[in-house]
A and B are shown apart, each in its own frame.
Chain A
Amino acid sequence: MKTYHILGHKISESDQKAFDHFYGNTPNDWTRSALKGMINKAKKNIIRVWFDYYRSKQTKEISMDPAILIPAIIAMDGFHSGKYDPDEKRSPERVESQTIEIWADGFEIEDWEDLALKAFYKDPIAMLKYFLENNIAICKKDLYEAIKKDKSYTTISPIIDEAIQTHVSKVEYKTAYEEPIEIGL
């Protein structure tokens, strides 16, 4: 077990409000879940691509425990990976300073998970930061679009952060999470 050393990540108050509007968990929880998804994808893809080759090189019984299998595959002569990297890049629009620390304690992961992430992704920490920033950008854009459709406003600030702060301060404000869509069967 090791702490995944992420040197902290700060978001703005409006970032937090926009995130809270759509999610019932915290940005830290969301990031932890995203990291689990990244580890799962790295593990499955490494095994899928390399397991048959690895097996062909073994003369003894093979352990399917990922804590043994993943390091063994990565240590093979000839192992290489595509170093997955997202094509899309997106950051939220901000005028507010980023003061809310959301990754203060880093994330605990196993040694083999660290190996898998580094083998599969070009830069796992950059990827994780991208995932969160991308998500916040989309939350802010979607909330701003919802605010623009709110007929109770006569004027709306063209600055997204200002419009969000005004909107979430309304007495009758509810998050999207508090008003779920229901489909009866």
Chain B
Amino acid sequence: MKTLWILTICVLVTVATYGQALDLKNLDKLAAKANNVTDVTLDGSLLKFAAKFLSSDNPDQAKVKKLVAELKGVYVRTYEFDQEGEYSESDLASIRGQLRTPGWSRIVGVHSRKDRDNAEIYLKTGGAEPGGLAIVCANPKELVVVNIVGKIDLDELSELGGSLGVPKLDFDKPKPTKPSSKKDD
């Protein structure tokens, strides 16, 4: 009986948090220490409003328009610091905690000891299609957190390659290696 209750609560929590944005309020205090701050908060209504102003005639903007059609929110926080040590791991603990909840799965995690550069990409899945994306990039002088809420098509995101300064991405299809033209002697 107890197990059933725990299972029910887990299911309810998963359903309630599905499609919700990450709580990034914990990062707000870093703005005072940062040299350069980017704070983008676009909830569902503002996102739709912004999409209205994207031109369908401009190919780059048309791609973004298509990409954001089914999104419910886009949240970006970037903090650039003059010195190292202006933020600590504890500042990220709240976000990492949210990303450990059911539904989120880490698809990429890169930790560089040399550059002390960390990059993590999480995907939210609640069905056949991704229900959101979270990116956490941290190096000693920079912290970037991106949260995209809603149905995101990674193919469409990869189609943004080359436009808006976004490099081409290739998630599913690895680049084919060119056959070696060197002849064996």
Q: State whether these chains interact.
A: no
